[in-house]
Structure 1
Amino acid sequence: MISKKLLFKLVWVLLWVPGFFCSHHVAAQTQRERVTNDNGWYMYFGDHRLSNKWGLHTEVQLRRHNIISDPQQLLIRTGINYGLTPNAMLTLGYGFIETYPYGGDPAASVFPEHRVYQQLQFRNSLNRLVFTHRYRQEQRWVKRPGQEDYTYFNRTRYFLKAVLPLAGPTVDPNEFFLAAYNEIFVNFGRNVQVNIFDQNRAYAALGYKLNNAASVELGYLNQIIQKPNGRVFEHNHTLQVSLFYNLNFGSHD
């Protein structure tokens, strides 16, 4: 039996150390300028079953600068899910992102992005901890301020989330839980210059399961972004409020 002390050490290593190491390693190789912002992300996620194998992903994120007062980003994402097993799922989808000038190193103007993505997501457990792994590949078309045409980028992402029930062995309706995740982003391809490391996100939250279909999380996100020039590193302290609402339109047998 694995001890609680060892479990928490494992979660710490998996969720926090990789992002810390990557950001500091990259920063050490360039003359670094640090910009700090306070943001708020208000988000909805839904994975809705249409049949035994197929489903629909829906997602809207309102990202705000200065916690809530100023616009930062609008993100709308959708996709088609295919269930490989009860604990593994493939998704093919599309996202639209609109980014606004914000913070200490703002863009010159609002700019759009169109994105196609493919991902594999699966879950496993270790005693009371439930882990979610997500591997995502993105093809991005970004129209930077002052450009007439879109520039194409590739990016890969790995996300690891851990959930710990607080009331029993599993998270049941009307119960609280703890959640933490780390996600690292890496750019590649001919249009990427110095910012191969794109960003890292480290997150911790308190969650509450409303019912079998819905849960909410209130947490803190520490986001580190390396700007395309490779010199400016953006540190975003972010309040994150999330609603997860998964409906089942398929068979109830």
Structure 2
Amino acid sequence: MNFVCMNSKGILLRLLLGLLLVSGLGSPALAQSERVKDVNSNGWYMYFGDHKLNSRWGLHTELQWRRHNVISDPQQLLVRTGINYDLTPLAMFTLGYGYIETHPYGDFPAAGTFPEHRIYQQLQIRNSLSRVGLQHRYRLEQRWIRPAGAETTTYLNRARYMLKATLPLFGPSIESGEPFLAAYNEIFIGFGNNIQRNIFDQNRAYAALGFKVNDAASLELGYLNQIVQRANGTVFEHNHTLQVSLFYNLNFSEN
């Protein structure tokens, strides 16, 4: 194994360690006696697509089928779409809408199934560090949630930042028919008048093995460690989650 390959894997390992450290330190400093831990095993089965319509504009499509107890019970259904605009070859802005349906799950379930409507603005920037590909994603969300049994809708704001790293296992870049490693960390921060004690909303730390099927499609099979602080500020979900993801990006501008 040459020096460049060893150096790239060292970079990815340092990133992974940093992501795990952020995940462990992401929650606010509450006394341990105040915290209630809710441990769950979930499965998220997901499709993502960014489809180019011409040299600048594109369409984002996304579907996530989230299950409690890995697959047996419902957790969430998420449908998200958006309009993409390429600011530069390495920077893309998205304006979009998402619908989320959340079901009761865990030791502290919601009173019933409830919907959420969401508008979001997003900036994605890509770069690289040696053989490691990096993606920075900044997202603002405006959320309208109507809890089960409530007569009114609650409006919430949230900011998210994700850093994702990918590393080819063979050669300098990820080519069709080749595996790769992927990892990311994403932190969620709530703000605005209706945020209660959960300014820290959640943190997600992820590691996966990926496979690039062809120029348009890739698959990832990974593990997600999700920490969620409920609105009351005392219940912390620790969700051990299997993630199966399909990325399928069509280029209609070439047709």
TM-score, with structure 1 as normaliser: 0.95
* Contact kept in structure 1, 2:9 and 2:167, CA below 8 Å: no
Q: Is the 8 A contact 2:16 2:183 kept in 1?
A: no
Within the alignment, does 1:111 sit opposite 2:114 as a pair? yes
Q: CA separation of 1:235/1:136 partners in 2, compared to 1, >3 Å: closer, same or farther? A: same
In structure 1, give the amino acid aligned to 2:247: F
Which residue of the other structure, out of 11, 20, 25, is the alignment partner of 1:21? Answer: 25
- After TM superposition, give the deviation of residue 22 of structure 1 in Å: 1.5
Matched, 1:37 2:40: yes
- 8 Å contact kept, 2:8–2:132: no
Q: Which whole-Å CA distance do the structure 1 matches of 2:124 and 2:159 have between them?
A: 14
Question: Which residue type is aligned with residue 12 of structure 1?
Answer: L
| Equivalence for 1:181 | 184
Q: Determine whether 1:225 maps to 2:234.
A: no
Retained in 2: the 8 A contact 1:30–1:231?
A: no
Does residue 1:49 correspond to 2:52, yes or no?
Answer: yes
Distance 1:116 1:27, change over 3 A: same
Unaligned runs of 5+ in 1: none
Is 1:164–2:167 an aligned residue pair?
Answer: yes
Kindly state the Cα deviation for residue 193 of structure 1 after the two structures are TM-superposed: 1.2
Aligned residue for 2:24, secondary structure, equals helix
Q: Distance in 2 between matches of 1:155 and 1:17?
A: 22
Deviation at 1:251, TM superposition (A): 3.6
Deviation at 1:55, TM superposition (A): 0.1
Q: Distance in 2 between matches of 1:137 and 1:154?
A: 8
Cα distance change, pair 129–105 in 1 and its aligned pair in 2 (3 A)? same
Deviations 1:71-102 (A, max 9, x none): 00000000000001111100000000000011
Within 2, Cα distance between the matches of 1:12 and 1:103? Answer: 28
Aligned mates of 2:10, 2:169 — CA distance in 1: 18
Shift of 1:63: 0.1
State how many pairs are aligned: 251
> How far off is 1:17 after superposition?
1.8
Deviation larger for 131-140 or 30-39? 30-39
- After superposing on structure 2, the runs of 4+ consecutive aligned residues of structure 1 that deviate more than 4 Å are none
Question: Aligned partners of 1:251, 1:26: CA distance in 2, in Å?
Answer: 52
For the structure 1 residues 183 and 209, does the alpha-carbon distance in structure 2 shift closer, same or farther, using more than 3 Å as the test?
A: same
Deviation string 1:25-62 (CA, Å, 9 cap, x unpaired) is 43448700000000000000000000000000000000
Answer whether contact 2:91 2:124 (CA < 8 A) is retained.
yes
